[in-house]
Amino acid sequence: MKLDLNEHPHRRYNILTGEWVLVSPHRTKRPWQGKLEKTVSEKRPTYDENCYLCPGNIRANGQTNPDYESVYSFINDFSALLSNTPNGEIKNGLLRAKGEAGICKVVCFSRNHSLTLPLMSIRDIEKVISSWQKEYQELGALADINHVQIFENKGAIMGCSNPHPHGQIWAQYSVPLEVGKKTIQKLQYWEKNGGSLLQDYLIQEINLDERIIVQNEDFLALVPFWAVWPFEVMITPKKHYQNITQLSNGEKTNFAHIIKDVTTKFDNLFETSFPYSSGIHQAPTDGEEHHEWHFHMSFYPPLLRSATVKKFMVGYEMFANPQRDITAEQAANTLKSLPNIHYSLNNN
């Protein structure tokens, strides 16, 4: 008996991590009487004198930001990782701990306090990507840095403490758990098949054309078959690149285009500034060649039914297994149908 993947509960296998995801599409039919998140729709100024990240303002640690014009990065004033931490280990019976050295940086995307990625120009998003390339290369070249994680938390409900357009970079001694799992899966596939796991997956997705949202000559954005978050999206280059420094100028432009397209569709879905956590997974910087790696950027947005209903990972998800309420195909069709012009511009 063949399952109807849009109707019946089933599990889907994540080829990148080796984990399973439970999909229960009939759960969206439940009447909602749960928590409604407050939405913030007021228009922000282009400059906020109380913002720690705006040009020329004093940050929380007393330092003053320069009057920067575009992208500006600095070491986080309250870093989770410190460069002078000893990489020693402590053992006490079954208790083990290790020191973790690293560097945490903040990357301001724009001097304009009111912007987000979907409202930035392609040229300005390119500048952000150029900053990511520079930071990955420079931080990754340091002796005690074996992994560089580029990410953005957008929106207060995703824990973002400042609405100024910015992301973060954590560079550290050890390779994080999620990246480690993906490295194992990709390496096993590479050794067995002599090619890239993610590139072969992309070829299958292009042939099926069931979960693709938008694509251009160099990049593809889709809802992964194994997606966990309601409107999870993965952007990945069509060519087999281990990291973002390998992009040509033209490919960087197309990367900027597809980031803008995806984030615009997010905002258009519920006509709100769509919250998410996004991150780029790419080859560790541990000195190995990592032929198996194929870099990709993932977006994990929490909104499920509307701008006020958030998907929380609780109960079963926390204690048993990731679970999603709509299928990847349903999410992809919804996002694909949305316009590429931001809703706020259509209202003007």
Q: Which residues carry out catalysis?
A: 166
Question: Which residues on adjacent β-strands are paired with residue 156?
Answer: none
| Phi, psi angles (nearest 5°) of residue 63 | -80, 155
**213 with 282: CB under 8 angstroms?**
no
> Distance between CA atoms of 65 and 206, rounded to whole angstroms?
45
Nearest C-alpha neighbor of 13 from the set 22, 5, 2: 22
Residue 79 structure tokens: 């870093």
Q: What distance, in Å, lies between the first and last C-alpha atoms of the chain?
A: 52
Burial readout 227-252 (b: 16 or more C-beta within 10 A, e: otherwise): bbbbbbbbbbbbebbbbbeebeeebb
Who's near 235: CB < 8 A, 6+ residues apart? 219, 220, 221, 255, 258, 259, 262, 296, 297, 298, 299
How many CB atoms are closer than 10 A to CB 258?
23
Who's near 318: CB < 8 A, 6+ residues apart? none
What's the chain's length in residues? 348
Who's near 330: CB < 8 A, 6+ residues apart? 6, 25
